[in-house]
């Protein structure tokens, strides 16, 4: 039987080929599995890295047969995963120790096992991803999403919630300092989630409604005829960049370019590489230029401060900040379950209830849940800096799963996550509007997920789908 012009017998062979390849990779990893704690072994780390990159190349080659678009969740997710889990151990194995090695390694005796665990888990993710027959479709350059030409309601909500966010967040927004939103007023976090959802939707429909192939002229006309969206976008980007908060701006950029790749023109690997390098350099400068105290502003703008700091420190490693998140994995392996029991999914439960406004706060207050059990980012912060810390150390995706469900939980969840990721990509490419939204939000979180929690995108996805549903039910005149 032919499906979309392809012979179905090919797919059976493809499945067998993928299964054999990943099975052999996993078998090799099992044979060379290190003990839980052992002396740092350069040869083992190099072996794990080579095995990982072989699997990575295989995955990309297989997926490149299905679509010409390289701006996909799996590409960015695996790029971030490589930086977080492979960069520092591999460089150390060939003689380049990280800055502040004692801070990064935590316990160097678990690095062999941590690297092995990271590689084994991501190979399972790739295997899970390959279990969805992506070759059964031809990537649709114009998904059949609703033609949402009347965007007035979204513009109205955009202005409304932008104003509400400024009112609820307070004056700290305009101080030019970065504190991760800790000084925002009550309710600002939920207003911000809704505002983000509206901007995501408005961006998706803006790109979808562009004429032609989305060249410079089409973009110019699109912005001219959508002044509310353009002004809101500029104010939003300026507001957060002024404070040195890169995340919100990066997410909007990824949603915009991701929508462009879906609706208009696919992004080639060459173009994507340029985006990644330029973006990483720019956001590294922003990160170095931000300050937490008004007294440190020194009158210089954000980019001047950041560039000056980069030159002065001589640190041009634009992936270093992301790569050092791997220390959280070493911390998790060093601490759990030897010095602290598993969390048994408690932080996942709070992540899920966090979708409902204020529900998590009610549960935390009612059950008197300590700070360290409200999320793995808090768990690792308290473990390393204490309960009175005003800054956080973040989390890391494998650590987030491991401290809740153990090693076998990591294997099972990563394989399932790979399959779900491929299913979302498949549905999105077929033009399912809901999955287009989900895939673009996942794309916007693809890099940051590696230094965060697995369910971190859940709130954004839920709120955006809810706003999309409500807006689709509303009708206003042109």
pLDDT tens track for 381-408: 998 888 877 778 889 999 999 999 999 9
Q: How far apart are CA 290 and CA 293, in angstroms?
A: 9
Taking the CB of residue 41, how many other CB atoms lie within 10 A of it? 15
Cα separation, 457 vs 112, in Å, equals 30
Q: Tell me what pLDDT residue 446 has.
A: 95
Query: What gap in Å lies between CA 10 and CA 73, rounded to an integer?
Result: 25
Answer yes or no: is pLDDT of 136 > 60: no
Same domain for 336 and 265? no
Residues 109 and 131 placed together within one structural domain of the fold: yes
Return the higher-pLDDT residue of 57 and 313.
57
Work out the average pLDDT over 284-306. 60
Tokens of residue 388, six digits: 């009175």
Question: Do 135 and 158 reside in the same domain of the chain?
Answer: no
What pTM, to 2 d.p., does this model score?
0.90
Q: How confident is the model at residue 169 (pLDDT cuts 50, 70, 90)?
A: confident
| CA gap 265, 291 in Å, rounded | 39
Q: Is residue 408 part of a domain?
A: yes
- Total domains, the chain: 2
Say how many C-beta atoms besides its own lie within 10 A of residue 31's C-beta: 7
4 pLDDT more than 60: no
pLDDT of residue 141: 44
Residue 18 resides in a domain: yes
| Cis peptide upstream of residue 124 (ω within 30 degrees of 0) | no
Does residue 455 sit within a domain?
no
Check whether 143 has a pLDDT greater than 60.
Answer: no
Q: What is the mean pLDDT of the chain?
A: 85
Classify residue 437: in a domain, yes or no: no
Among 272, 352, 461, residue whose Cα is nearest residue 363: 352
Supply the range of the domain harboring residue 157.
Answer: 152-316
**Count of beta carbons in the 10 Å neighbourhood of residue 130:** 23
- Same domain (yes/no): 99, 214: no
C-alpha distance from residue 4 to each of 7, 8, 65, 138, 442 (Å): 9, 10, 15, 8, 28
8: exposed, middle or buried (Cβ count in 10 Å: 0-12, 13-18, 19+): exposed
Q: Report the pLDDT value the prediction gives residue 138, as an integer from 0 to 100.
A: 44
In a domain, residue 460? The reply is no
Residues 19 and 72 in one domain: yes
One domain, residues 28 and 103: yes
CB neighbours of residue 328 within 10 Å: 28
CB atoms within 10 A of CB 134: 22
Structure tokens at 305: 């401060």
Residue 237 pLDDT > 50: yes
Higher pLDDT, 435 or 473: 435
Give the Cα separation of 149 and 145 in Å (integer): 12
Domain end call among 399, 416, 431: 431
Q: Which residues, other chains included, contact 17 with Cβ-Cβ below 8 Å and sequence gap of 6+?
A: none
409 and 275 within one domain = no
Q: CB of 178 within 8 A of CB of 291?
A: yes
Give just the sign of the alpha carbon dihedral 336, 340, 346, 352: negative
Within a domain: 436: no
Q: Same domain, yes or no, for 381 and 285?
A: no
pLDDT at residue 144 is higher than 60:
no
Give the end of a domain, one of 287, 316, 345: 316
- Residue 13: pLDDT over 90: no
The set of residues, in sequence order, having a beta carbon less than 8 Å from that of 393 and lying 6+ positions away, is: 328, 377, 380, 381, 384, 385
Task: Looking at the structure, tell me whether residues 177 and 249 fall in a common domain.
Answer: yes
pLDDT for position 6? 35
CA distance linking residue 454 with residue 450, whole number of Å: 8
Domain presence at residue 476: no
Task: List pLDDT tens digits, range 62-121.
Answer: 888 888 899 999 999 999 999 999 999 999 999 999 888 888 999 999 999 999 999 999
For 205-230, what is the mean pLDDT? 85
**How far is Cα 237 from Cα 405, in angstroms, rounded to an integer?**
38
Among 256, 283, 316, identify where a domain stops: 316
Confidence of residue 478 (pLDDT cuts 50, 70, 90): very low
160 with 250, same domain? yes
- CB-CB contact of 140 with 433 (8 Å): no
Locus of tokens 């031809």: 138
Inside any domain, residue 468 = no
Residues 302 and 341 in one domain: no
Question: Domain check: are 378 and 300 in the same one?
Answer: no
């Amino acid at each position: 039987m032919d499906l979309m012009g392809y012979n179905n017998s090919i797919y059976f062979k493809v499945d067998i080929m993928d299964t054999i390849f990943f099975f052999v990779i996993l078998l090799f990893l099992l044979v060379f599995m290190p003990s839980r704690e052992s002396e740092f072994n350069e040869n083992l780390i190099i072996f794990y890295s080579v095995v990982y990159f072989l699997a990575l190349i295989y995955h990309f080659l297989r997926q490149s047969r299905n679509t010409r678009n390289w701006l996909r969740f799996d590409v960015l997710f695996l790029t971030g995963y490589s930086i977080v889990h492979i960069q520092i151990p591999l460089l150390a194995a060939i003689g380049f120790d990280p800055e502040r090695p004692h801070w990064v390694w935590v316990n160097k005796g678990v690095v062999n096992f941590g690297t092995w665990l990271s590689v084994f888990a991501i190979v399972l993710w790739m295997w899970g991803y390959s279990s969805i027959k992506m070759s059964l479709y031809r990537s649709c350059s114009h998904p059949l999403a609703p033609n949402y030409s009347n965007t007035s309601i979204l513009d109205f909500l955009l202005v409304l919630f932008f104003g509400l966010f400024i009112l609820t967040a307070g004056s700290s927004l305009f101080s030019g300092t970065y504190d991760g939103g800790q000084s925002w007023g009550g309710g600002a976090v939920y207003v911000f989630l809704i505002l983000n959802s509206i901007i995501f939707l408005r961006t998706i429909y803006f790109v979808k409604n562009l004429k032609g192939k989305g060249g410079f002229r089409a973009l110019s006309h699109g912005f001219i005829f959508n002044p509310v969206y353009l002004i809101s976008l500029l104010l939003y980007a300026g507001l957060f960049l002024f404070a040195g908060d890169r995340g919100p701006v990066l997410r909007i950029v990824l949603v915009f370019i991701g929508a462009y790749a879906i609706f208009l023109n696919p992004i080639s690997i060459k173009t994507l590489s340029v985006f990644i390098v330029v973006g990483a350099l720019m956001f590294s400068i922003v990160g170095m230029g931000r300050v937490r105290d008004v007294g440190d502003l020194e009158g210089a703008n954000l980019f001047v401060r950041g560039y000056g700091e980069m030159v002065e420190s001589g640190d041009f490693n634009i992936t270093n900040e992301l790569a050092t998140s791997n220390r959280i994995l070493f911390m998790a392996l060093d601490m759990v379950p030897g010095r602290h029991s598993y969390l048994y999914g408690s932080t996942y439960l709070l992540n899920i209830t966090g979708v409902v406004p204020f529900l998590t706060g009610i549960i935390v207050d009612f059950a008197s849940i300590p700070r360290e059990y409200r999320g793995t980012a808090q768990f690792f912060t308290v473990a390393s800096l204490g309960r009175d810390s005003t800054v956080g150390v973040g989390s890391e995706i494998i650590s987030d799963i491991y401290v809740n469900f153990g090693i076998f939980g990591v294997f099972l969840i990563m394989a399932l996550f790979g399959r779900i990721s491929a299913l979302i990509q498949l549905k999105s490419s077929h033009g399912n509007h809901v999955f287009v939204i989900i895939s673009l939000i996942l794309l916007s979180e693809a890099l940051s997920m590696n230094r965060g929690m697995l369910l971190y995108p859940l709130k954004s996805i839920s709120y955006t789908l809810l706003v999309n549903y409500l807006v689709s039910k509303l009708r206003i005149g042109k």
